[in-house]
């Protein structure tokens, strides 16, 4: 390999979607910062070429037409892999020095295409899904075992991959666009509050949609408890919801439980769906506190965004979060414990001095993690692997 090629390897970055999910968000920020640093990177994704990504991307990219969402999860995973393989065939050899896949689907497709092209494959494991289908379990296992290099975004997932898969992964932490989420000197979210009926009421924000690993069921149970001690009764705004998996049965279970507890979806729990990118920081600035009751995360990008926005945060006490959160940075509750979550939510709602103190600490925590630093770490790994 020639000197210049080794110094700045040409990277094909693969991701399964164009929607605002954690791995996709990570891919776009990483690609842009590599591009800004002068590296040759090209993002390939499955989606609607006419619609593009959920936000503009200032790095070279190609969107390959995604298959429909018909069929079982197993069928959709297989079809997506086949579609990505077909779309990448003939595009990598001679144009790139390595392939970086950001998810299970992209990793399997990347290995299939990069192998014949003689290119090494890197896979970032953001988290491991709890599949029950044996075919999907095997698919995920191979997506971790087959690449030449595996990266993770936290020390906890490095430990878990070593214990569960016998893989020695390298940690490269996530980042956050601090200036984008920084709290302005004056905030007027009256229009957003009016839209969801939150005028004069305490507003919790959560980001990630309604799904099992986000602890959504525990959140509505906790909210019911909070509304018995805080007046007027608070509400929760939920941003997000796009997922490759089908969580309809879980969402229905959450809605039924919310109605049973007197915190109906649409009134006490407002589902905002995917909001425009330019509007997202305003929700962080408009809310009174952020609640993030996840029971599994690779890192928790939304949590880092809330901290950068100076928003008092309530989250779960899981090992990943402990890697960057101290006792003074956020209020923590045991994962899966709705009662404890309700207690800390009520505490933050009733104590403005506590909210202010937590809000001041958040940007200091988030400031340690930038996408530029993330890109520089990746660039060093690319050079090492390409050589």
Q: How many residues does the chain have?
A: 387
CATH fold group of domain 3-175+370-386 = Rossmann fold (3.40.50)
Lowest mean pLDDT among 58-72, 236-250, 279-293: 236-250
pLDDT above 50 (res 321)? yes
Supply the mean pLDDT for the chain. Answer: 94
Phi/psi of residue 37, nearest 5 degrees:
-85, 0
> Which residue ranges does the chain devote to CATH 3.40.50.2000?
3-175+370-386, 178-366
Between the alpha carbon of residue 68 and those of residues 81, 273, 316, 363, the distances in Å are: 13, 20, 35, 41
Which positions ≥6 away from 372 have C-beta within 8 Å?
33, 36, 37, 175
Higher pLDDT, 226 or 5: 226
Phi/psi of residue 292, nearest 5 degrees:
-140, 80
| pLDDT tens digit sequence for 217-266 | 999 999 999 999 999 999 999 998 766 677 789 999 999 999 999 999 99
- Inter-residue long-range contacts of 90-96, CB under 8 Å, 24+ positions, other chains counted: 91/12, 91/44, 91/62, 92/12, 92/117, 92/119, 93/117, 93/118, 93/119, 95/10, 95/12, 95/42, 96/9, 96/10, 96/11, 96/12, 96/42
pLDDT above 60 (res 314)? yes
d(CA 143, CA 139): 6
Class of domain 178-366 (CATH, top level): alpha beta
Phi/psi of residue 115, nearest 5 degrees:
-55, -55
Which positions ≥6 away from 75 have C-beta within 8 Å?
none
Q: Do residues 206 and 290 touch, judged by C-beta distance below 8 A?
A: yes
| pLDDT tens digit sequence for 80-110 | 999 999 999 999 999 999 999 999 999 999 9
**pTM of the complete model:** 0.92
Task: Identify which of 266, 284, 263 has the alpha carbon closest to the alpha carbon of residue 275.
Answer: 284
| pLDDT tens digit sequence for 33-51 | 999 999 999 999 999 999 9
Phi/psi of residue 159, nearest 5 degrees:
-60, -45
Q: Do residues 37 and 375 touch, judged by C-beta distance below 8 A?
A: yes
- pLDDT confidence band for 200 (50 / 70 / 90): very high
Cis bond leading into 232, ω under 30°?
yes
pLDDT above 90 (res 70)? no
């Amino acid at each position: 390999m020639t000197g210049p090629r080794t110094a700045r390897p040409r990277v094909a970055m693969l991701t399964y979607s164009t929607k605002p999910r954690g791995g996709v968000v990570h891919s776009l920020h990483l690609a842009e910062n590599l591009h800004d640093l002068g590296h040759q990177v090209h993002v390939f994704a499955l989606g609607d070429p006419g619609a593009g990504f959920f936000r503009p991307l200032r790095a070279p990219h190609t969107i390959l037409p995604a298959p429909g969402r018909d069929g079982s999860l197993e069928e959709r995973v297989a079809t997506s892999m086949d579609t990505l393989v077909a779309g990448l065939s003939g595009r990598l050899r001679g144009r790139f020095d390595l392939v970086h896949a950001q998810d299970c689907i992209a990793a399997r497709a990347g290995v299939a295409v990069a192998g014949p092209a003689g290119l090494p494959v890197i896979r970032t494991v953001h988290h491991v899904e709890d599949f029950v289908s044996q075919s999907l379990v095997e698919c995920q296992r191979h997506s971790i075992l087959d690449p030449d290099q595996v990266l993770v975004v936290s020390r906890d997932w490095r430990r878990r991959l070593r214990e569960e898969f016998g893989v020695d992964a390298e940690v490269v932490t996530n980042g956050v666009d601090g200036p984008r989420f920084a709290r302005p000197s004056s905030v007027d979210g009256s229009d957003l509050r009016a839209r969801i009926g939150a005028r004069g009421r305490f507003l919790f924000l959560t980001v990630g949609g309604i799904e099992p690993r986000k602890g959504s069921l525990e959140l509505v149970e906790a909210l019911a408890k909070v509304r018995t001690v805080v007046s007027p009764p608070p509400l929760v705004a939920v941003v997000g919801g796009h997922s490759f998996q089908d969580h309809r049965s879980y969402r229905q279970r959450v809605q039924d439980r919310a109605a049973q507890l007197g915190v109906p979806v649409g009134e006490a729990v407002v589902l905002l769906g995917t909001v425009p990118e330019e509007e997202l920081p305003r929700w962080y600035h408009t809310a009174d506190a952020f609640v993030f009751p996840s029971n599994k995360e690779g890192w928790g990008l939304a949590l880092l965004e809330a901290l950068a926005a100076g928003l008092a945060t309530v989250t779960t006490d899981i090992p990943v979060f402990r890697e960057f959160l101290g006792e003074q940075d956020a209020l923590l509750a045991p994962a899966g414990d709705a009662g404890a979550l309700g207690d800390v939510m009520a505490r933050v709602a009733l104590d403005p001095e506590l909210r202010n103190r937590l809000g001041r600490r958040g940007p200091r925590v988030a400031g340690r993690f930038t996408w530029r630093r993330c890109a520089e770490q990746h660039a060093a790994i690319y050079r090492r692997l390409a050589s």
